[in-house]
Every structure is written in C-alpha cells, then in structure tokens.
C-alpha cells in the first residue's frame, strides 16, 4: 500500500490512523533517511495510546511509555553495523506480549523480536515537504490491512 503525504500534519494523521490498528504484541518498523518523518509518524501512532511526549530515542536507544499496552519506541540507528546479538541483548522480547513497538531503523533487527511486523518505508516525494509512504505487511497478523 502506497500513500502520498504532503505535510507534517498529514504524516501525523497517518500515524494516528495506523495507531488505531495496533494491539499488544504488534511491531512496526520504520525505514527512511534522516529527516524523512519517522519520528513524526511515531508521534501520530502514539496518540492512539494516549502518549504525547514522543522524542527520538537516538542516544538512549529506547523509551518505554507505560500503559495498557506499553508503547515502546526504539531507535536502532546506533546499532546498525553490529551483529544481531546487540539488539537481542536488550531483551525487548520480554515486553512483547504487553506492548506495541515502533522501531526506527529496525529492519536489520526485527527478526530477533518477531516474524510478524508492519514495515513502513518513507521516501522523499517530489517536493520538499512531500513523502511517499509504503506499508509492507509481513505475516498473517497484517494480512488484509486497510487504513
């Protein structure tokens, strides 16, 4: 599924829509260049869980927002180039059952957490503010996803 976005507000709205589809155990992987809108999309997703204080966890790797379910935002950028054990050692799988995960830069690591995830690829559009967002469902959990 490919979606054209023309503003920061639209990226946030798309995230909010995606957030309404998520439940405990779900993992969303965000892929895109620096500044593409991954954190803005995450902010929108988080609103579905009542979380409004989303900032990029680049230097701390993850932020856990407690709730029902927990909302866990991970930025795996600093782990790129490490082996899969670097991510697995963080023990995120112990939170999986009671949490929703959004993992920026996580495509290399998601397989250590789950085989069922929604990858969202964000690319620059034709104008400075536009983006092309592609949703790539992996696994039965995401079959037939509609927004």
Residue 48 belongs to what domain range? 7-123
Q: What is the mean pLDDT of the chain?
A: 86
pLDDT bin (cut points 50, 70, 90) of residue 10 is very high
User: How large a percentage of the chain has pLDDT more than 70?
Assistant: 88
Per-residue pLDDT, 85: 62
**142 part of a folded domain:** no
Summarize the confidence of residues 62-83 as an average pLDDT: 79
Q: Is the pTM of this model over 0.85?
A: yes
**pLDDT tens readout for residues 114-137:** 899 999 999 988 888 899 999 999
Q: What is the pLDDT of residue 139?
A: 92
Task: Assess if residue 96 is contained within a domain.
Answer: yes
* CATH number of the domain enclosing 86: 3.40.50.300
Residue 147 lies in a domain: no
Does some domain include residue 136? no
In angstroms, the CA 86 to CA 61 distance is 11
- What is the predicted pLDDT for the residue at 78? 67
Within the chain, strands assigned E span 2-5, 27-32, 62-65, 70-75, 99-104, 117-124, 131-138
């Amino acid at each position: 599924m490919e979606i054209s976005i023309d503003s920061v507000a639209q990226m946030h709205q798309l995230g909010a829509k995606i957030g309404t589809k998520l439940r405990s155990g779900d993992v969303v992987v965000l892929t895109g260049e620096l500044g593409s809108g991954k954190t803005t999309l995450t902010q929108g997703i988080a609103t579905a869980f009542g979380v409004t204080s989303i900032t990029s966890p680049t230097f701390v790797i993850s932020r856990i927002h407690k709730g029902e379910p927990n909302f866990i935002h991970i930025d795996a950028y600093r782990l790129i180039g490490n082996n899969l054990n670097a991510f697995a050692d963080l023990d995120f799988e112990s939170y999986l059952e009671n949490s929703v995960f959004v993992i920026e830069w996580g495509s290399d690591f998601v397989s250590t957490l789950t085989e069922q995830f929604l990858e969202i690829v964000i690319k620059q559009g034709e104008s400075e503010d536009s983006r092309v967002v592609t949703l790539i469902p992996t696994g039965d959990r995401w079959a037939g996803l509609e927004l």
